[in-house]
A and B are shown apart, each in its own frame.
Chain A
Amino acid sequence: MLRLIIVKTLRALLTVLMCVTLVFVVLRLSGDPAETLLPENTPPDTVAEYRATWGLDAPLPVQYVRYLAAALRGDFGISFADNRPALYVVLERVPATLLLGGTTFAVALLIGVPLGIVAAIRRNTAVDRAVMAFAVFGYSTPNYFLGILLILLFAMQLRWLPSSGSETWQHMVMPVFTLGTAAAGTLARFTRTAMLEVMGHGFIRTARGKGAPPGYAILRHALPNAAIPVVTVIGFQIGGLVGGALVTESVFAWPGVGRLLVNAVSGRDLAVVQTVVLLVASTMVVANYLVDLAYGLLDPRIRGGGR
Chain B
Amino acid sequence: MSVVMGRRRAAIPPAILVALAWLAAMVLVAVLADALAPHHYTTQNLRARLQPPMFWGGSWAYPLGTDSIGRDMLSRVIYGIRFSILIAVLGTLIGAVLGTVLGAIAAHRRGLVEEATMMMVDFQAAVPFIILALAALAFFGNNFWLFVLIVGLDGWERYARLTRGLVLSAQDSGYAVAIRTLGAGPVRVYAGHILPNIASALVVQMTLNFPGTILLETSLSFLGLGIQPPLTSLGLLLASGRALLLNAWWIAVLPGVVIFLTTLSMSLVGDWLRDRLDPTLSH
Residues of B within 8 A of A23 (CB): 135
* A15 pairs with B119, CB closer than 8 A: yes
Question: Measured between alpha carbons, how far is A116 from B237 in the docked complex, in Å?
Answer: 36
Provide the main secondary structure of the chain B interface.
Answer: helix
Asked if A246 is at the interface (CB within 8 A of a chain B CB), the reply is yes
Residues of B within 8 A of A144 (CB): 218-219, 222, 235, 238-239
A239 touches B128 (CB 8 A): yes
Could you tell me if A26 and B135 are in contact, using CB atoms closer than 8 angstroms? yes
Nearest CB of chain A from residue B14's CB, rounded to whole Å = 14
Is B127 in contact with A280, judged by CB distance below 8 angstroms? yes
Q: Are A137 and B264 in contact (CB under 8 A)?
A: yes
A236 to B123, CA, bound (A): 12
A261 within 8 A of B: yes
Are B245 and A156 interface neighbours, CB within 8 A?
yes
How many Å lie between the Cα of A222 and that of B131 in the bound state? Answer: 37
A140, B262: Cα distance in complex, Å: 9
A42 at the interface (CB under 8 A from B): no
Does A19 interact with chain B (Cβ within 8 Å)?
yes
Q: Does B136 contact A (CB under 8 A)?
A: yes
Please, which residue of chain A has its CB at the minimum distance from the CB of B241?
Answer: A148
Chain A residues with Cβ under 8 A from B140's Cβ? Answer: 30
Is A81 located at the chain interface by the 8 A CB criterion? no
Q: Which of B234-283 contact A (CB under 8 A)?
A: 235, 238-239, 242, 245-246, 249, 252-253, 256, 259-260, 263-264, 267-268, 271, 282-283
Q: Contacts A148-B238, A239-B126 given; indicate if A193 touches B245 (C-beta within 8 A).
A: no
B149 in contact (CB, < 8 A) = no
The reply on B134 being an interface residue by CB < 8 A is: yes
CB atoms of A242 and B256 under 8 A apart:
no
What residues of B have a CB within 8 angstroms of the CB of A29 in the complex?
A: 139
CB–CB A18/B134 < 8 A: no
- Tell me whether A136 and B139 are in contact (CB under 8 A): no
Q: Mark A116-145, 1 if CB is under 8 A from B, else 0.
A: 000000000000000000001101111111
User: Smallest CB-CB separation from B135: which chain A residue?
Assistant: A277
Q: Which of A137, A273, A287 contacts B134 (CB 8 A)?
A: A273
Chain A 210-249 near chain B by CB (<8 Å), digits 1 or 0: 0000000000000000000100000010011011001100
Tell me if B131 and A148 are in contact (CB < 8 A).
Answer: no
- Does the CB pair A273–B138 fall under 8 Å? yes
Bound form: Cα–Cα A268–B138 in Å: 5
- Chain A, Cβ-Cβ closest to B235: A144
Specify which of B126, B130, B135, B246 is in contact with A15 (CB 8 Å cutoff).
B126
B86 at the interface (CB under 8 A from A): no
Bound complex: CA of A29 vs CA of B135, how far in Å? 13
Could you tell me if B223 and A246 are in contact, using CB atoms closer than 8 angstroms?
Answer: yes
- Name, among B131, B136, B224, B225, the residue most crowded by chain A CB atoms within 10 Å (CB to CB): B131
Q: Which residues of B contact A281 (CB under 8 A)?
A: 123, 126-127, 131
CB neighbours of A265 from chain B (8 A): 134-135, 137-138, 225
A14–B115 Cα distance when bound, in Å, is 13
Cβ proximity bits A1-39 to B, threshold 8 Å, 1 near / 0 not: 000000000000011001100010011011000000000
- Within 174-197 of A, Cβ neighbours of B (below 8 Å) are at 190, 193
A246 touches B131 (CB 8 A): yes
Whether B223 pairs with A145 at a CB distance below 8 angstroms is no
Nearest opposing residue in chain B for A190, CB measure: B283
Known: A142-B218, A152-B245. A262 touches B131 (CB 8 A): no
Closest B-chain residue to A232, C-beta based?
A: B283
Write the nearest CB–CB distance from A188 to chain B, whole angstroms.
13
Known: A139-B267, A261-B134, A265-B138. A250 touches B223 (CB 8 A): yes
Which of chain B's residues has its CB closest to A284's CB?
B126
Q: Mark B108-147, 1 if CB is under 8 A from A, else 0.
A: 0000000000010011011111111011111111000000
Q: Which residues of A contact B122 (CB under 8 A)?
A: 15
Q: Check if B215 sits within 8 Å of A142, measured CB to CB.
A: yes
Given contacts A136-B268, A268-B138, A277-B131, whether A142 and B283 have CB atoms under 8 Å apart is no
Of A15, A140, A239, A269, the residue contacting B267 (CB under 8 A) is A140
Does B127 contact A19, Cβ atoms closer than 8 Å? yes
Q: Is B211 an interface residue (CB 8 A)?
A: yes
Residues of B within 8 A of A268 (CB): 138, 141
User: Which of B130, B139, B238, B245 makes the CB contact (< 8 A) with A246?
Assistant: B130
Given A141-B263, A242-B128, A246-B134, 12 more A-B residue pairs with CB atoms under 8 Å apart are: A140-B260, A140-B267, A142-B215, A148-B242, A152-B249, A239-B127, A247-B223, A265-B135, A274-B135, A277-B131, A280-B128, A281-B126
29 A/B residue pairs, CB under 8 Å, sorted by A: A15-B119, A19-B123, A26-B135, A30-B139, A136-B271, A140-B267, A141-B263, A142-B259, A142-B263, A145-B238, A145-B259, A145-B260, A148-B242, A148-B253, A152-B245, A156-B245, A239-B126, A239-B128, A243-B129, A247-B222, A261-B131, A262-B225, A264-B138, A265-B137, A269-B138, A270-B139, A277-B132, A284-B126, A288-B126
A: residues with CB less than 8 A from B are 14-15, 18-19, 23, 26-27, 29-30, 136-137, 139-145, 148-149, 151-152, 156, 190, 193, 229, 236, 239-240, 242-243, 246-247, 250-251, 261-262, 264-266, 268-270, 273-274, 276-277, 280-281, 284-285, 287-288
Query: What are the nearest 6 A-B pairs in CB distance?
Result: A243-B128, A145-B256, A140-B264, A30-B139, A265-B138, A243-B130
